[in-house]
Structure 1
Amino acid sequence: MSDTDGKKPLGLGGGARGPGQVKQSFSHGRTKSVAVEVKRKRVVVPKPGAASSPAGSGGSSPHLGDPSKRPAGISDAEMERRLTALRAAKAREADDAERRAVDERQREEERQRRRDEIEAKEREEREREEALKAKAEEEARQRREAEEASRRAEAAKNAPAAAAAPAAAVVEDRGPASLKPASGPRKTDRERDNRGTDDRDNRGKAKGDDNRRTGKLTLNDALSGEGGRTRSLAAMKRKQEKARQKAMGFGQKAEKQVRDVRIPETIVVSELANRMAERAADVVKVLMKMDMMVTMNQAIDADTAELVIEEFGHKAIRVSDADVEQVIDTVGDKAEDLMNRPPVVTIMGHVDHGKTSLLDALRKANVASGEAGGITQHIGAYQVTTESGAQITFLDTPGHAAFTSMRARGAQVTDIVVLVVAADDAVMPQTIEAINHAKAAGVPMIVAINKCDKPDANPTKVRTDLLQHEIVVEKMSGEVQDVEVSAKTGKGLDELLEAITLQAEILELKANPNRSAQAAVIEAKLDVGRGPVATVLVQNGTLRRGDIFVVGEQWGKVRALINDQGERVEEALPSVPVEVLGLSGTPAAGDVLNVVPTEAQAREIADYREKAARDKRAAAGAATTLEQMMAKAKADKDVTELPIIVKADVQGSAEAIVQAMEKIGNDEVRVRVLHYGVGAITDSDVGLAEASGVPIIGFNVRANASARSSANQKGVELRYYSVIYDLVDDIRDAASGLLKAEVREHFIGYAKILEVFRITGVGNIAGCLVTEGVARRSAGVRLLRDNVVIHEGTLKTLKRYKDEVKEVISGQECGMAFERYEDLRPSDVIEIFEREEVERRLT
């Protein structure tokens, strides 16, 4: 049978192809005849007697038995393999179809099972509701019967003769009404469902709604039928729960809970609503009734918030922003909890009096050789163990004047001050300053007279000089211990340690190690690879790895503790100096580190302190009145500033440099530090320097590769220093260059005008006689008439006879003409002088 399947051909056929005509009709009435071709497929019919296909092939290919009808290049094995693959594919298709049919039956059974379970559950809910309703009706019937019985008893008591008939009538009237629900036949589920459709019709739902959508919602289900969209399962559950609560008598509104609301000095409206567990819109409405048009994102003061809280029936508790710091443990230690701790000794003295060398001899190390310029520029904290086993913590403070604040911090955390004075020198300015710091801190002092091994050493002179500052040593019948030592030979070191130990025993230094740690920041820096690092001295408690702490405006978690030997430790006891890693930022030297219970509290305290410090700086920088602002602007108008950016290795050095820069200058010039920080010079520093046109000063730090490249491209000057002397001197010289040069006048001669000549085209020429000194053409002149200065200017010409000359000496005559001035008269005197500019320097 051909593939046309008995249909009439479109055209006359003549072989495999035959053209024909087909008429096309269009919607608007046009018709068109088009030519078409019908391509017929050739059907191969096996000849009678041909070899049948092998068993299992299903007669799918007639070419296997007849090699002549097989495609060229196909062998018997290849043909057999192809037929096998074909049969396997057909078998897989049959298996897949059967498996899909089984899966579909299982899914249909699962859907039916779920529908049955849902229907059974709904039927149980309806039965439970009917039971609850019947129970409620029964209770109501019993109450009515009790009421009727009491009324009958009362009526019988009042009128015995007439009580029987009304009572019977009451019973007759009550009986059918009360017994009807119980005596009638029980309605089926279908009847109850039909009865429930009336309520759904009243709500706009279609008839036949079973309150439940079963199975998967398809497009046909959504568009067909009268049901439309059905109620969701959640809506049905809410309806059933509401009906159950109503039947059980739980529909009453819950009693409002009164809360204690903590309110700070200012609070946002939305936050106040959250703390009261009220809607923010309701809080805004209350505020609007109070004539306050605010939104939920605006802040209100504590008084207004208290009124709102009372309006809602809650209790207000006023708190301050500073209350966040109450979590810091400030409870006094009990006497039985205190234990002995090592003394903290601070080494103080003038520059190059041997403080660090003395400490090196005590701890058998060599620190001074590593210091730039041989001077100490950081506070070093070390712990030394004496031969007797006692431990002493030493703080080595710098002696240069720029580190006054660092020495002040050292005196604040110390127990004993060792004042080092060189025996070959006298009491110097920084020595006096150290004495004042020790007196202000109220700590005992031990005088160590160093360099006693030198030939010109004179310890007696040192003791005598100390008397001028109210320091009376023991050898001069005083109370201050003094020890003659030599850091080079080791003389007197044992006596010095013994004096420190004795003084510590007198002080009875104790601390409680079993409490939250409290420590003082000795130094802080920003280390590449480790981040912010703070050197702290534990004053109370025990600082352990993993503790959460707050220090100044920063907080953190102790990631590692490193002692003065560079070793990692798990804890630090009182009077132990350690480096702390894990800070959120670099704290200021002198800040107090306190351990707090949780990270949230540490964040809150740090944020509060940062905000308070920012407000304080803003208040200090703002002028209070317009007069003060105008006075400040007028004073600053004539002041020339030298702006710089300072980056240092540690926080203490940065603060000391800034303080030294503030002291440079006078009423005309001053140094202004635009920005200072800790750590390497970065791209942000270079960008700030370029925008401001200022140099960057690096103290013991360098710029990274990116910052160096950026500085070279933008022309930003980078200056590196390792000794603070050189830094201060260079900045002072640079600031001195901004001073206006001082102009000095030198008198060089006098000339008297003998006659005045009028020359056409030139003007008045004075014929003069140089009476004193010399007259120079480049000098300045003043015209004196009756010893009064009439004019000051310069010479236009200086001639002797007809020649122009540079100068004319005393006793000679010459001709002079003034620049742009011709009021010359005989007997006038010309004063001749020279000006000299002298550079000024800041002191």
Structure 2
Amino acid sequence: MSNAILQENSSVDTSKISTGEPLKRIKLPAVVSIRDFAEKINKTPAEIIAKLMQYGVLVTINESIDFETAQIIALDFGIEVIPEEEKPVEKEAEERGPLQPRTPIIAVMGHVDHGKTTLLDYIRNSQIAKGESGGITQHIGAYQIDWQSKEGEKRKITFLDTPGHEAFISLRRRGAQLTDIIILVVAADDGVKPQTIEVINLAKEANIPIIVAINKIDLPEADPERVKRELSEYGLVPEEWGGDTPMVNISALKGLGIKELLDVVLLVADLKNLRANPQTQAVGTVIESKKDPKKGATATILVQNGTLKSGDNVVVGSVYGKVRFMENDRGKRLSAAGPGTPVLIAGLSEVPSTGDTLMAVASLAEAKKLALDFARTKSVKSLKTLKNKGVLEIAKELEAKQQKRLLLILKADVSGSLETMKELIRKLSVPELALEIVKSEVGDISESDITLAQTLGALIVGFRVNLNSALKKLAEQNAVRIRLYEIIYDLENDLREIISNILPPIIIEVEIGKAKVLQVFRKDKKATIIGVSVLEGKLLKGSKLKIANKNIETEIISLRKEKNEVKEAEAGGEAGVGLPGNINVEVNDVLKAYILKEEKRKI
């Protein structure tokens, strides 16, 4: 439960608390199970469950509650609880041994097509850019290189290749949280763009230094000075102008300026004095994860502290396992990986989520327990549910608003792609249409996916996954809709189109003509008959009419030319117009004729 909710509940009824003795005080973690909470405050689980029911929260003995909820319940029993102090990982690491210099972690970021992947391609002497669908990086990868510094020392540098397309904003944010330095790539022929500004803001929020790589300087239209001027407007002032932002002119395609860029990276890294303890148990973050047909559940881990070893017992969020083997970005098997090193590991019980924390622990049993505890925190019960609307209330609101729903089953090749798909769904949500993700997971489309889609009437959206011929036939037989994509642009555009087709169209007024009233022939309860001169466009029988400056709207019920009934009257001619009822219209009034047209809603 949040602090705001706690404040709202700060007027907890303490009259039940005995004032004869001081309150008993105990320490509790951020999340505690009902069983453990009952044991700590010397009550039975049944008493805790009953007390929570009084507040309208239904729980079982195996479920958990958050600290603030436990605090309120404990007060009702005359017990004060305080939060347990969590020792920072860095402090714990320092206590286990001296800190040593570690490999710097660099994120390469910037606007789409400004040359991020080409830069890494040149540095790593690989062909990443050519191998990606649509010519863009689809999800985060981590790579490490060896580089000889100016002093002749062989140094390692780790790169996070962070996608530039706006759909990957959540991945870029995670990249910014992991990195020590950001290389902001800006094309010399294109300048500052929306994602350039976004990266600058991310860096400022996270207090991460930026090195600007002004790319494509080999092009005739390149203008590095213009780029510097534009960047200075956002607080990135070049060092040569008296600022503190290093800027290096490069051509990632031809390799110009790359040596100077990497020398600057090492210089900035040295100024940051990056340190870690390789002697302690490993702590790292999941950069990417997927289920490999041959290797099973795998995850790319960026080791941030300690040393991860083959055979280590690990917990990764709600997943646990024993490291069966580790590989670097070139597929070479490793026995150990120190701070700042990215490695792919196998041996996990399931595919972990991108961004989850890995910790090496003493035993597999401990790893399994920690994973179970973490899983419980995902379904923590809290008194804040009192503030939430019930299911029936929400259902009634949907019915009252006649809100439509689009149920989605998301399948992706890796967890990073899945996260991006969810981000797109959130971005494209509109009040008139409830976009509901009923299932989302890594892996190919399965028979159970098709069965669920058929039962719920859901749309299956797959990104870089397979659908075998048997399942395709099954889907067709059961009228299950499946969309498969290889490029994120296509997925976004199709979702926009699907949503636009579901939403009711927009009704717009299209003006078709103007006319001036020449004479009023009749005006009574049944009808108003006038003579008009058509000034522009045309008048149509059945079209709507507005009388200028009178806030009067009506319609044409009859249209005559020389006593003949006609369907339209064009500009330059005169016509008799019939209107329903007694309309306040006079000679010289200007009439505007229009029709109502349906237009597809654009998202």
TM-score between the two structures when normalised by the length of structure 2 = 0.76
Question: For 2:168 and 2:104, how far apart are their aligned partners in 1?
Answer: 23
**2:341 equivalent to 1:341:** no
| Rg comparison, structure with higher value | 1
Q: Is the 8 A contact 2:101 2:275 kept in 1?
A: yes
1:327-381 alpha-carbon deviations (Å, 9 max, x no partner) = 9997242596333322211111111111111111111111100111111121121
Q: CA deviation at 1:469?
A: 1.8
Question: For 2:228 and 2:560, how far apart are their aligned partners in 1?
Answer: 75
SS of 1:647's equivalent in the other structure is strand
Q: CA deviation at 1:436?
A: 2.0
Please, which moves more after superposition, 325-334 or 692-701? 325-334
Q: Is the 8 A contact 1:765 1:815 kept in 2?
A: no
Question: For 1:342 and 1:403, how far apart are their aligned partners in 2?
Answer: 26
Spell out the pairing of 1:347-746 with structure 2 (5 A cutoff).
347-387=108-148, 388-615=153-380, 623-624=387-388, 633=397, 637=401, 639-669=403-433, 671-737=435-501, 738-746=503-511
Question: For 1:301 and 1:585, how far apart are their aligned partners in 2?
Answer: 22
Question: For 2:208 and 2:544, how far apart are their aligned partners in 1?
Answer: 69
Q: Is the 8 A contact 2:97 2:277 kept in 1?
A: no
Q: Is the 8 A contact 2:315 2:358 kept in 1?
A: yes
Relative to total residues, which structure has the larger strand share, 1 or 2? 2
Letter in 1 for 2:105: V
Question: For 1:565 and 1:691, how far apart are their aligned partners in 2?
Answer: 44
Change (3 A) 1:343 1:669: same
User: Which residue number corresponds to residue 266 of structure 1?
Assistant: 34
Letter in 2 for 1:352: D
User: Which residue number corresponds to residue 62 of structure 1?
Assistant: none
Q: Is the 8 A contact 2:214 2:250 kept in 1?
A: yes
Change (3 A) 1:321 1:583: farther
Letter in 1 for 2:92: V
Q: Is the 8 A contact 2:203 2:209 kept in 1?
A: yes
Question: For 1:803 and 1:428, how far apart are their aligned partners in 2?
Answer: 62
Q: CA deviation at 1:441?
A: 2.5
Q: CA deviation at 1:550?
A: 0.9
Question: For 2:581 and 2:87, how far apart are their aligned partners in 1?
Answer: 86
Change (3 A) 1:540 1:767: closer
Change (3 A) 1:770 1:500: closer
Change (3 A) 1:330 1:650: farther
Letter in 2 for 1:590: G
Change (3 A) 1:584 1:502: same
User: Which residue number corresponds to residue 833 of structure 1?
Assistant: 593
1:192-218 alpha-carbon deviations (Å, 9 max, x no partner) = xxxxxxxxxxxxxxxxxxxxxxxxxxx
1:618-658 alpha-carbon deviations (Å, 9 max, x no partner) = 87787436899579937982544444332222212221221
Question: For 1:671 and 1:571, how far apart are their aligned partners in 2?
Answer: 44
Spell out the pairing of 1:21-60 with structure 2 (5 A cutoff).
none
Q: CA deviation at 1:511?
A: 2.2
Change (3 A) 1:732 1:573: same
SS of 1:333's equivalent in the other structure is helix
User: Which residue number corresponds to residue 568 of structure 2?
Assistant: 807
User: Which residue number corresponds to residue 189 of structure 1?
Assistant: none
Question: For 1:824 and 1:501, how far apart are their aligned partners in 2?
Answer: 82
Q: CA deviation at 1:615?
A: 2.2
Please, which moves more after superposition, 700-709 or 333-342? 333-342
1:467-490 alpha-carbon deviations (Å, 9 max, x no partner) = 112222222222322222111221
User: Which residue number corresponds to residue 754 of structure 1?
Assistant: 521
Question: For 1:580 and 1:459, how far apart are their aligned partners in 2?
Answer: 42
Change (3 A) 1:319 1:597: farther
Q: Is the 8 A contact 2:323 2:348 kept in 1?
A: yes
Percent of aligned positions with the same letter in both sequences?
Answer: 37
Question: For 1:485 and 1:300, how far apart are their aligned partners in 2?
Answer: 58
Q: Is the 8 A contact 1:511 1:574 kept in 2?
A: yes
Q: CA deviation at 1:693?
A: 2.4
1:296-327 alpha-carbon deviations (Å, 9 max, x no partner) = xx95999xxxxxxxxxxxxxxx9999989999
Q: CA deviation at 1:579?
A: 0.8
Question: For 1:555 and 1:350, how far apart are their aligned partners in 2?
Answer: 37
Question: For 2:290 and 2:182, how far apart are their aligned partners in 1?
Answer: 25
Q: Is the 8 A contact 2:523 2:583 kept in 1?
A: yes
User: Which residue number corresponds to residue 232 of structure 1?
Assistant: none
Query: How many residues are paired up?
Result: 533
Q: CA deviation at 1:755?
A: 5.7
Letter in 1 for 2:476: N
User: Which residue number corresponds to residue 124 of structure 1?
Assistant: none
Candidates 774, 779, 788, aligned match of 2:542: 779
Change (3 A) 1:441 1:557: same
Change (3 A) 1:824 1:743: closer
Question: For 1:403 and 1:268, how far apart are their aligned partners in 2?
Answer: 40
Question: For 1:326 and 1:811, how far apart are their aligned partners in 2?
Answer: 88
SS of 1:502's equivalent in the other structure is helix
5+ residue gaps, structure 1: 1-261, 277-282, 285-297, 303-317, 758-763
SS of 1:331's equivalent in the other structure is helix
Q: Is the 8 A contact 2:506 2:601 kept in 1?
A: no
Q: Cα RMSD over matched residues? A: 4.4
User: Which residue number corresponds to residue 68 of structure 2?
Assistant: none
Letter in 1 for 2:602: L
Question: For 1:300 and 1:628, how far apart are their aligned partners in 2?
Answer: 26
SS of 2:380's equivalent in the other structure is helix
Q: CA deviation at 1:420?
A: 1.4
Letter in 2 for 1:453: D
1:716-769 alpha-carbon deviations (Å, 9 max, x no partner) = 222222222222122123222314222305355477663699xxxxxx898764
SS of 1:390's equivalent in the other structure is strand
Q: Is the 8 A contact 1:328 1:596 kept in 2?
A: no
SS of 1:735's equivalent in the other structure is helix
Relative to total residues, which structure has the larger helix share, 1 or 2? 1
5+ residue gaps, structure 2: 1-27, 46-59, 65-78
Q: CA deviation at 1:569?
A: 1.9
User: Which residue number corresponds to residue 602 of structure 2?
Assistant: 842
Q: Is the 8 A contact 1:681 1:702 kept in 2?
A: yes
Q: CA deviation at 1:798?
A: 5.3
Question: For 2:183 and 2:63, how far apart are their aligned partners in 1?
Answer: 54
Letter in 1 for 2:479: G
Question: For 1:301 and 1:739, how far apart are their aligned partners in 2?
Answer: 43
Question: For 1:788 and 1:451, how far apart are their aligned partners in 2?
Answer: 59
SS of 1:580's equivalent in the other structure is strand
